[in-house]
Amino acid sequence: MKKYFVIGNPIYHSLSPKLHNYWLKENNIEAVYDKKKIEEKDLQDLITKFKEKQINGINVTVPFKKIVIPYLDKLSLEAEQTQSVNTIIFSNDKLIGHNTDILGFEKAIKNLNFDMQGKKIFILGAGGVVPSIIFALNKMKVSKILISNRTKKKAEDLKSQFHNLDVLDWGDISDFDVIINATSLGLNKESINLDFSKFTNNKLFYDVIYNPSETNFLKVGKKLGNRTENGKLMFIYQAFEAFKLWHGIEPQINSDTLEILNND
Ligand code: ATR
């Protein structure tokens, strides 16, 4: 039986096994997808097993999206440019790192029928998924990207990869058309200590978090009269793209798919 894993630390919250196992069953593929909490020292062993075909595919999540790169033979253009890998495939005797978070975000935004072109974007956070979001936003031709992170250096460091970033101090706020919460604040019902009320409505408040489905950040955005969206579709689409890479099949995304991820 073929074996697939999502690796990360922590990993208990990951809904990837639920989604992939559902699609595997739907498509009559004899395989199993599991989650694995690992330490960095475990990576080499996993990579060896992958090359020996004891493992057939790996999704990578926080904090290994960049750390895993030296263990791979090749990167897709997007993985190279973002220095972020979330999907590994074995092809022609080579381990190849892909980044499906970018397409995941792009497809989620497309699904909203929201035109990012010319918009001013404010990103909160500078963690694992942010390079992919910035890469996708640049593809969508946004006019400006502002970023603020509690640890300012991490936001500053992103400037070497993406030259069009303006870094704000954590706690400062500036006008925006779209605000994206890419911090983990909200996973445990914490709030972000920023006053959004001085900005008029009709903005888009986007949260990468999808569990809980409505973070305090989205609740505030909604109350102020803005459009809100959580990260559920981004999550589904990145998984969709990974499934396609491994199995050559486009899995179905329908109300059942959305339903199995309702974990609140
Ligand atoms: P990683 O930083 O390991 O890639 P992540 O889950 O992708 O992990 O990112 C977590 C993000 O949430 C980071 O931007 C983090 O800020 P720091 O870089 O300062 O750690 C942010 N974050 C987590 N807890 C936070 C808090 N209590 N206040 C503000 N930002 C927080």
> Ligand 1: distance of its center to the CA of 121 in Å?
19
> Ligand 1: distance of its center to the CA of 246 in Å?
30
Q: How far apart are CA 137 and CA 116, in angstroms?
A: 7
> Ligand 1: distance of its center to the CA of 192 in Å?
12
Q: How far apart are CA 232 and CA 196, in angstroms?
A: 23
Give the three-state DSSP class for 81.
helix
Q: Which atom of ligand 1 lies nearest, measured to the CA of 151?
A: 19
Residue nearest to atom 23 of ligand 1 (CA): 184
Q: How distant, in Å, are the alpha carbons of 56, 104, 223 from that of 246?
A: 8, 16, 42
pLDDT digits (tens, 9 = 90+) for 88-99: 999 999 999 999
Ligand 1 site, residue 155, Cβ cutoff 6 A: no
> Ligand 1: distance of its center to the CA of 134 in Å?
16
Domains of the chain: 2-99+237-262 (3.40.50.10860), 102-230 (3.40.50.720)
Ligand 1 site, residue 149, Cβ cutoff 6 A: yes
Q: How many C-beta atoms surround the C-beta of residue 202 within 10 A?
A: 10
DSSP, res 199: S
Q: How far apart are CA 63 and CA 184, in angstroms?
A: 13
Question: Would you write out the chain's pLDDT as a tens digit for each of its 264 residues?
Answer: 999 999 999 999 899 999 999 999 999 999 999 999 999 999 999 999 999 999 999 999 999 999 999 999 999 999 999 999 999 999 999 999 999 999 999 999 999 999 999 999 999 999 999 999 999 999 999 999 999 999 999 999 999 899 889 999 999 999 999 999 999 998 888 888 888 888 878 899 999 999 889 999 999 999 999 999 999 999 999 999 999 999 999 999 999 898 888 865
Whether 182 contacts 204, CB under 8 Å = no
Ligand 1 site, residue 128, Cβ cutoff 6 A: yes
Q: Give this prediction's pTM.
A: 0.95
Whether 155 contacts 167, CB under 8 Å = yes
The whole-number pLDDT of residue 39 equals 98
Residue type, 109: I
Q: How distant, in Å, are the alpha carbons of 26, 38, 82, 86, 101 from that of 43?
A: 31, 8, 21, 14, 21
Ligand 1 site, residue 194, Cβ cutoff 6 A: no
Whether 96 contacts 74, CB under 8 Å = yes
65 given a catalytic annotation: yes
Residue nearest to atom 1 of ligand 1 (CA): 127
pLDDT digits (tens, 9 = 90+) for 82-127: 999 999 999 999 999 999 999 999 999 999 999 999 999 999 999 9
Q: Give the mean pLDDT of the chain.
A: 95
Ligand 1 site, residue 125, Cβ cutoff 6 A: yes
Q: Which of 36, 41, 49, 65 is catalytic?
A: 65
Q: How far apart are CA 260 and CA 264, in angstroms?
A: 11
Give the three-state DSSP class for 80.
helix
Ligand 1 site, residue 213, Cβ cutoff 6 A: no
Q: How far apart are CA 162 and CA 152, in angstroms?
A: 15
Residue nearest to atom 25 of ligand 1 (CA): 185
- Dig out the tokens for 221 from the structure: 């955005």
Residue nearest to atom 21 of ligand 1 (CA): 183
- Dig out the tokens for 159 from the structure: 């400037």
Ligand 1 site, residue 230, Cβ cutoff 6 A: no
Start-end of H helices in the chain: 16-26, 43-51, 77-82, 101-111, 130-139, 152-157, 216-223, 232-247, 255-260
